[in-house]
Amino acid sequence: MEQADYQQLNGIALAYLGDAVYEVFIRQHLLALGMSKPNRLQKKATNYVSAKAQAALILKMQEEDYLTEEEWAYYKRGRNANSYTHAKNTSVLTYRQSTGFEALFGYLQLAGQQERVAELAAWCIKQVERGNLIHED
C-alpha cells in the first residue's frame, strides 16, 4: 500500500492487520522458547494477545511515554472507531483499548516501520514476561 492509503484507513481496518502482525511476533517468540504443543502455545499466547493484556500494555506505554504523538494518534483512531463487534470476556473500555493497540501495529506495518514494529513487540514481550502489567478488569 502507498502512504496515502494507510492514512485513509479507519481504525478497525488498521486493527485487523495489527492483530495479525502482533500475533506473528508472539508466535515466533513462543516457538523460539521451544514450545511446540498447539494447546500449550495457544494458552501461553493468550497472556500476550488477549484484550486485557493489550489494554494493560497500552497503559504501560502511556505511563512510560513510550509512543510518539503520531503513534498515539493512530492508537486513538483504533480506540475511538465504531466497532460492530463487542468484547466477550472483558469490558467495553478494555476492548476499545486493545483495538487501539492493534491499530497502532497495523499503522506501523503499513507505514513500512518494521523496525519500530519489532521494537514495540519486543518491549511488549518483555513487559508480559516481567509481570509488569496491571489488568483493569
Q: What is the pLDDT of residues 53-109, one digit of tens each?
A: 999 999 999 999 999 999 999 999 999 998 777 777 889 999 999 999 999 999 999
The residue from 5, 19, 65, 137 that is catalytic is 19
Number of domains in the chain: 1
Q: Is residue 136 part of a domain?
A: no
Q: Is residue 135 part of a domain?
A: no
Q: Is residue 137 part of a domain?
A: no
Q: Is residue 123 part of a domain?
A: yes
Task: Residue 76: give its domain's CATH number.
Answer: 1.10.1520.10
Please report, to the nearest 10 degrees, the dihedral formed by the alpha carbons of residues 116, 77, 28, 117 taken in order.
Answer: 0
Q: Which amino acid is at 17?
A: L
Is position 19 annotated as part of the catalytic site?
yes
User: In sequence order, what are the residues at sequence separation of 6 or more whose Cβ sits closer than 8 angstroms to the Cβ of residue 128?
Assistant: 47, 48, 53, 57
The domain containing residue 110 runs over which residues?
Answer: 3-130
- Over residues 32-49, the pLDDT tens digits come to 999 999 999 999 999 999
pTM for the full predicted model: 0.91
Residue 15's closest CA among 55, 46, 42? 55
